[in-house]
Amino acid sequence: MQHDAPAGSRHVRYQPDDKPPLGLTAGLGLQFAILSIAGIVLTPAIVIRAAGESDSYLTWVVFAAAAVSGVSTIMQAVRLGRIGAGYVLLMGTSGAFIAVCVAALVRGGPGLLATLVVASSLFQFLLAGRLSLFRRLLTPTVAGTVLMLIAVTVMPVVFDMLTASPEGSSEWSAPTSTLITVVVIIAIALKSSGSLRLWAPVIGVVAGSIVAAFFGLYDVDRVAEANWIGLPDAEWPGFDLSFGPAFWSLLPAFILVTLIGAIETLGDSVAIQRVSWRQPRAVDYRVVQGAVAADGAGNLLSGLAGTVPNTTYSSSVAITELTGVAARRVGVAIGASFIVMALLPKFLALVLAVPDAVVAAYVTVLIAMLFVVGMRIVVEEASDYRKGLIAGVSFWIGVGFQNGVIFPEYLQGFAGGFLENGMTSGGLVAIMLTLFTEATQSRRQRLRADLAISELPSIREFLDGFATRHGWGAPMSGRLDAVAEETLLTLLDAEQAEGDTTGRALRITASKQDGRAVLEFVAAARGENIEDRLAVLDEPAAARPVERDISLRLLQHFATSVVHQQYHELEIVTVHVNPPPRPDPDGKPVEPIDP
């Protein structure tokens, strides 16, 4: 097995535990905050304007969004108990929630929105606490499909704002501002590289606003009237605790988007680990759980504050890789900068004064990229025709429900109308098809034992029976026995290295997938990561006691791949084993044929 160093890891200047100079920390924190504040402010702006809510409420929502983004970014960096990743992960308002937030405001107002955000955030804590249980359900295929459907549900709202010129202004004002914004963003993103590409959205919004000001669309009075420092005049919107039909019909959509946001956070927390260290490390899923928990805490705070939900920003990974600075202190500085900006009404007014057409143009590019991210995830998974079929069917069913063309005479208004949201209907179809695929796969065989060397005879008997059922001969049975023994010895070695010899329960699952055996070893979490140790063994100058390496060397020899996932509650070692080549009539080995 080959373990390549993650891209950019060799150029890391400051790792997460390092302490860069205070000036560098503060400067980078402010720079990254300025780079991200437009998205944090403009996303709730388009939600409030699309729903027709008041400017007073918009002012409160933007203030609360910036403040909550600051607090949750700090939580991600400092890691409070099991909440937080301990890495630089920017938190900000989520474009994925635009459609459902607009629907909540239209149907029940700010109180209903706040209640739904709080309720859906609780499911994120559940996911973080039991992430290992959901690993087969919330798959990349499901996440990619829902991300594409987000664009389907949001873009009709955005398109209405793109060309709507305000009363009394030139009919060319909105189209021209929109065109300039989109052209500048796309031109910079396509032709530039490095740090300039990260600034493309900000530069595009500024260019569009300048053109809009020429037509008299930029709200200069809002900026002039705003205070330099202080809290907004608007009041907290409160909660709607009536729990009427609108709440129950929208709750599934909020939960689904929250879970998909958690999957996005999962991806970001995996990626940030890969670019934050000079030497490659295996992914620590305890960090992932912490990131998802902090995401849930951010959403809970968003609901309590009466603003739109937030999520991690993938730009965190790009910025960290570009600068080579992954120190946690920078994450704290970014969060503190967001909080300071929230207390500067005039600064926020500069962004809120941006006309609807420019905001819609910015969101168009943002949602287009979100669609591409979803499409890329699906395409990467589509090599398996089952996953491709799930994505295709779910996507078009979602499009059909969104446009009201699937049996409208029977399903219109069904269950409060929650199926009329394409993201909800398509996402539920993707989840149900994934469950069906899991349920109808070849039967998994399980064995429960103690994590002890004395269990080897029963494990060998279990694996011999598994190999016999699938028509594999003695050579494959011997290979499986060797893999199980070396995995068991490696887990025991990690436990004994910590001076802990107490017994632990072990569950072994064996299944056949694509002609190969897949063994899954599940035990209570403890010990170092096996993938990290394998990576060290691959280094030519590895200096480790030979006796500790024998089991890993043998495991590396017999297994096609070894994946070690460490969670707070348990650890999972998944080993793929190919059948050994079978000799042809002349005695030469040939590759096995999958029966």
The residue-averaged pLDDT of 289-316 equals: 89
For residue 521, what pLDDT is reported? 87
Residue 498's pLDDT is 46
| Confidence at residue 539, expressed as pLDDT on a 0 to 100 scale | 44
State the pLDDT at residue 7.
Answer: 41
Choose among 294, 316, 374, 302: nearest CA to 124: 294
User: Does residue 78 register a pLDDT over 50?
Assistant: yes
Per-residue pLDDT, averaged over 371-377, amounts to: 76
Is residue 578 within 8 A of residue 516, CB to CB? The reply is: yes
**Bigger pLDDT: 348 or 545?**
348
Q: Is the pLDDT of residue 102 over 80?
A: yes
Residue 321: C-alpha distances to residues 278, 315, 592 (Å): 11, 10, 43
pLDDT at 502: 55
Q: What sign results for the dihedral spanned by CA atoms 546, 550, 552, 556?
A: positive
Instruction: Tell me: pLDDT of 302 over 90.
Output: yes
Strand partners, 334: none
Buried b vs exposed e over 199-225: b needs ≥16 C-beta within 10 Å?
A: bbbbbbbebbbebbeebebbbeebbee
Mean pLDDT of the chain: 78
**pLDDT, tens digit, for every residue of 479-520?**
888 888 888 887 776 555 444 445 678 888 888 877 788 888
Coil, helix or strand at residue 311 = strand
Q: Give the distance between the most distant pair of CA atoms in the chain.
A: 90
Q: Is the pLDDT of residue 323 over 80?
A: no
Q: Which amino acid is at 83?
A: I
Residue 336 banded pLDDT, cuts 50, 70, 90: very high
What is the rounded average pLDDT of the residues 551-555? 57
The arithmetic mean of pLDDT across residues 458-477, rounded, is 88
pLDDT at 10: 46
Residue 530 has pLDDT above 90, yes or no: no
Residue 252: beta bridge partners?
none
What percentage of the chain has pLDDT greater than the value 70? 82
Which range among 58-72, 196-210, 289-303 shows the weakest confidence by mean pLDDT? 196-210
**pTM, two decimal places:** 0.69
Query: What's the confidence (pLDDT) of residue 504?
Result: 74
Q: 556 pLDDT band (50/70/90 cuts)? A: low
pLDDT tens profile 383-395: 677 888 888 899 9
CB 575 within 8 A of CB 562: yes
What is the percentage of the chain residues whose pLDDT exceeds 90? 11
What pLDDT score does 546 carry?
A: 41
Confidence of residue 540 (pLDDT cuts 50, 70, 90): very low
Token pair 């403040």 is at which residue? 67
Q: Does residue 289 surpass a pLDDT of 50?
A: yes
CB 445 within 8 A of CB 466: yes
Work out whether strand 589-590 and strand 310-312 pair parallel, antiparallel, or are unpaired. Answer: unpaired
pLDDT band for position 168 (cuts 50, 70, 90):
low
DSSP letters for 525-566? S-S--HHHHHHHHHSTT----HHHHHHHHHHHHH-SEEEEEE
The model's pLDDT over 400-422, given as tens digits with 9 standing for 90+, comes to 888 878 777 666 655 445 566 67
pLDDT tens digits for range 213-230:
888 888 777 777 777 887
Class in CATH terms, 445-590: alpha beta
pLDDT of residue 305: 92
- Higher-confidence position of 111 and 280: 111
pLDDT of 89 over the 60 cut: yes
On the CB side of 266, CA atoms within 13 Å amount to 20
Weakest-pLDDT range from 26-40, 157-171, 482-496, 543-557: 543-557
Where are the chain's structural domains? 14-438, 445-590
- What's the whole-number mean pLDDT along residues 525-550? 46
**Weakest mean pLDDT among 205-214, 306-315, 406-415, 564-573:** 406-415
**What pLDDT is recorded for position 382?**
65
How much is the pLDDT for 300?
Answer: 94
pLDDT at residue 552 is higher than 60: no
Check whether 450 has a pLDDT greater than 80.
yes
Classified as helix, coil or strand, 275 is helix
